Structure 1
């Protein structure tokens, strides 16, 4: 085996470029320096007048979070792959002899941003970048929510009763290490899905209700570019419709039309949209114990053609980046969902730029 040299590494990187390195496309299209002011403000590092090892560059660390989110990696796996993959090193601007952040450093960086509540500011910073590039929210907006799984909790009936009452079980209070691993914010809910056709070809009369534990990601995308413009994270049992009145609507969209499924249909929401100048295209519900009128069926079908575009966003996040909550608590879950939304917008930005370049 011959000893590798500088030109061997360059040749391998050139080959990776030829094979289509997604991270290289990120570096060429996304200006990560735009995040630096917000990162510096959130991290609030000292001036190191007392000495000590300087922290890693915040933009480099943020790019590590992007790698994590793109590939659904744990902190330990992230550390290993940065050391192992030339494509990761190139994206981060690291050489073979450069120091690589370990798993604990990655965790501390993300935790510091989480506790500073920086994810909203970072999301808005990239949204401003999209607008400056010409991708203004237009043609109306589409609202929807998706369930995001979290590790199931093995709680006793007594512990469940305490949690429902908003209390911390006494056993958890006596064992801080146990409490730190218990997610008191994630909730159980039922996920309804269509039943499969039977062997005889008939369809069951009722849908399936599957228990689900975790959180919920609520988004509003613009109809034109399908970019996420507003978002919110809640526990899985939270109502979809109530979020509409809690800042999920994008008032900067150049059109006033709002599409959403029947979960968002309520008098309170219709009054709210009418008061703020929005035009509702929310699906109408089936009358109780009555067949759906034909004209409402046709109306809902027409709305579904447009509303279904938001489903592609969630499908992309779950199939391409494996959206899943590994952490404990709503604050960290919000950070995870927010990062997934930023990375989705980055990937969408790459696609839109590629389409424009070939037009």
Structure 2
């Protein structure tokens, strides 16, 4: 990007002997995100500007948008962080002496542009294309899984009610309110497909939406143990590696069932790595917006960035 500053240009940072975790993270992500390809993807939809005030540089706004995903900044919080944190300004390419910092309304409008033009799935697809070109996607089989994302349950809002598109579900002995993120990954944990539903939707009902039908093997936990699922996988010729439930009254074959489930659990463990990045690395544990569509757009972008993060060392090694 024109005028992009390097991390060494800030004298106060250049004198440091130790690189902080945030500096290292941003340096690595700056190198692995395909900025030029994503900018070219969004550019046809981005305002060109006329004789009046020119729009903010597109790559700058995209970098700000990704910072929001990585650090869970709200729109006003993102604006304030850019004023307060020099490292974030360097990553975005803002020099306070000559550049304006986008206000929260500008940041909001950029996010809504991505939502309105349905660009999150295209960003995800572009990242997948980069990984495939680098030989970092395995095609042999798929691991499917789902995770609960909490939603605010308070009714202290303008509508005086909870989000009608979210729902409650019980896991163990605890009730949760929110949505589910359903994903299919390759055998090394790189996410290939993302869907979102209300929390009450059973996991196995989303299996077909996550698969292409050409998978050689499908691995999943006991939430996908359903007779119709097993029948469909058998009809496709896919190896059925779904963990089995212990049914009430079952007495025979329990040790064999435990061994089988442990084997499946070891193999499908990589499918949960993306959830760890989403919730622990990026701090995404609760929905920010109302409605499934807006939150799906956000988690689709988050999983695209999570894929880049998980294979960043391989990508850096190829450059």
TM-score normalised according to structure 2 size: 0.87
Residue 244 of structure 1 pairs with residue 204 of structure 2: no
CA contact (8 A) 1:220 1:250 kept: no
Q: CA deviation at 1:31?
A: 2.2
Aligned to 2:313: 351
Change (3 A) 1:350 1:250: farther
Match of 2:265 among 304, 312, 321: 304
Give SS of 2:118's match: coil
- Per-residue displacement from partner, 1:290-344 (whole Å, max 9, x unpaired)? 2362222211111111112222321221112111211111111112211221221
Give SS of 1:19's match: coil
CA contact (8 A) 1:145 1:216 kept: yes
Aligned to 1:109: 110
Residue 29 of structure 1 pairs with residue 9 of structure 2: no
Aligned to 1:220: 184
- The farther-off stretch of 21-30 and 236-245 is 21-30
Distance in structure 2 (CA, Å) of the matches to 1:179 and 1:55 = 34
Change (3 A) 1:65 1:16: farther
- Per-residue displacement from partner, 1:117-160 (whole Å, max 9, x unpaired)? 221111011110111122122442211100011111439xxxxx
Distance in structure 1 (CA, Å) of the matches to 2:311 and 2:160 = 38
Residue 74 of structure 1 pairs with residue 67 of structure 2: no
Aligned to 1:119: 120
Aligned to 1:331: 293
- The farther-off stretch of 306-315 and 145-154 is 306-315
Change (3 A) 1:179 1:297: same
Change (3 A) 1:292 1:315: farther
Aligned to 1:295: 256
Aligned residues: 306
Change (3 A) 1:15 1:326: farther
TM-score normalised according to structure 1 size: 0.78
Change (3 A) 1:307 1:154: same
Q: CA deviation at 1:281?
A: 0.4
Match of 2:171 among 169, 177, 191: 191
CA contact (8 A) 1:83 1:100 kept: yes
Distance in structure 1 (CA, Å) of the matches to 2:236 and 2:137 = 20
Distance in structure 2 (CA, Å) of the matches to 1:54 and 1:250 = 44
Change (3 A) 1:275 1:290: closer
Structure 1's consecutive aligned runs of 4 or more residues displaced over 6 angstroms after TM superposition are none
Any residues of structure 2 matched to 1:1-359 within 5 Å, and which? 10-15=10-15, 18-20=18-20, 21=23, 22-41=25-44, 43-45=45-47, 47-49=48-50, 51-97=51-97, 98-154=99-155, 178-179=158-159, 183-192=163-172, 209-224=173-188, 226-246=189-209, 248-250=210-212, 256-291=216-251, 293=253, 294-323=255-284, 324-353=286-315, 356=317
CA contact (8 A) 2:218 2:242 kept: yes
Distance in structure 2 (CA, Å) of the matches to 1:187 and 1:83 = 38
- Per-residue displacement from partner, 1:164-218 (whole Å, max 9, x unpaired)? xxxxxxxxxxxxx9349852211111122xxxxxxxxxxxxxxxx2111111111
Distance in structure 2 (CA, Å) of the matches to 1:332 and 1:132 = 30
